[in-house]
Amino acid sequence: MGKVWFVGAGPGDAELITVKGQRLLREAGAIIYAGSLVSKACTLWASEDCDIADSKGMTLDEITGWLIEKAGKHETVIRLQTGDPSLYGALIEMLQPLDAAGIESSVVPGVSSAFASMAAASESMTLPEVTQTVILTRVEGRTPMPDGESLRELAQHKTTLCLFLSITLLHKVRDELLAAGWHDDDAILVVQKASWPDEEKIVRGTIGNIREKCRAEKIASQAMIVVSPTLGARHWKTLKKSKLYDADFTHRFRKAEK
Ligand code: SAH
């Protein structure tokens, strides 16, 4: 029996897969990838005789059935996931049938689109004395949010918020943010297809105008929404510096100058 690897393909740019993920793709006898999101990484690194399938249009049972069947024939079988497999990736739903079938499996992390979006815009999720916390979430769509996790509640913390799977719900994002105490002129960032060569779009706006701006840019899918008190900090005149590099701050690796 072979082993099934759940590999994070990264956000889109084929070079953003991990070295380990790339090695596994080279060694794999069979790969199933998620829709059009990660096809390039497959074709770039997979061997010529690799059995490659697209899971677009397949049900979860069909995908796990495919993985189980291929694990009977190949030593290395890969489920290639977008970004990191632990975020909105149906990982547990796929692991359980593999466990039940007695098939060994492991997960290889990937660069999430949340990080790729911040990189695209040269923004920081954390800033000293501004926010030291990041919330990865979504607004309620067809998938209900558990108690206590509405955007209205989470946004009250005024931390960095990365909203997945929410780009078609910008009206709701605005309503919830305003109810949580944010303002229409607060900064918001939308990145579509972060890291995709030639396809990435970065839209900066305010909570009040972002919907209009995204409509004008025809952005309706594959986009990350970031709301954060750190947005635009690159242009701030006054900035609290990180203690780690502060000349007056002693830590494990350096003694303060004064
Ligand atoms: N596991 C993935 C997320 C899968 S959910 C990760 O870690 O990134 C799919 C959602 O992720 C999309 O609706 C979108 O909000 C976001 N997403 C995925 N790829 C993206 C990209 N390249 N740029 C911006 N957002 C992306």
The pLDDT tens digits for 99-135 are 999 999 999 999 999 999 999 999 999 999 999 999 9
Compute the distance from residue 83 Cα to the ligand 1 centre, in Å. 7
- Give CATH 3.30.950.10 domain extents, the chain: 113-235
Element (H, E) at 30: strand 30-33
CB-based pocket (< 6 A), ligand 1: 11-12, 82-84, 87-89, 112-113, 116-117, 164-165, 191-196, 222-224
pTM above 0.75, yes or no: yes
At 253, is the pLDDT very low, low, confident or very high (cuts 50, 70, 90)? confident
| Mean pLDDT, range 231-246, rounded to an integer | 83
- Give CATH 3.40.1010.10 domain extents, the chain: 3-108
Residue type, 149: E
> Torsion angle of alpha carbons 60, 62, 65, 66, nearest 10°?
-110
The pLDDT tens digits for 35-79 are 767 777 778 899 999 999 999 999 999 999 999 999 999 999 999
Burial class (CB in 10 A: 0-12, 13-18, 19+), 238: exposed
- Encoding tokens for residue 33? 């990838």
Q: Which pLDDT does position 244 carry in this prediction?
A: 66
Handedness of CA 129, 209, 194, 221 (dihedral sign): positive
The pLDDT tens digits for 191-235 are 999 999 999 999 999 999 999 999 999 999 999 999 999 999 999
Compute the distance from residue 254 Cα to the ligand 1 centre, in Å. 39
| Mean pLDDT, range 94-100, rounded to an integer | 98
DSSP codes of every residue in 108-165? E----HHHHHHHHTT--S-BTTTB--EEEEE--SSSPPPTT--HHHHGGG--EEEEES
The answer on pLDDT for 10 being more than 80 is yes
The answer on pLDDT for 250 being more than 80 is no
Residue type, 1: M
Q: Which pLDDT does position 223 carry in this prediction?
A: 98
The fourth-level CATH superfamily of domain 3-108 is Tetrapyrrole methylase, N-terminal domain (3.40.1010.10)
- The number of the ligand 1 atom at minimal distance from the alpha carbon of 113 is 8
Q: Report the mean per-residue pLDDT for the chain.
A: 94
Give the residue, out of 13, 33, 82, with the most ligand 1 atoms within 8 A of its beta carbon, to mutate for a pocket test: 82
Whether the CB-CB separation of 136 and 113 falls below 8 Å is answered with no
- Match domain 113-235 to its CATH number in 3.40.640.10, 3.30.950.10, 3.30.420.40, 3.30.1370.60: 3.30.950.10
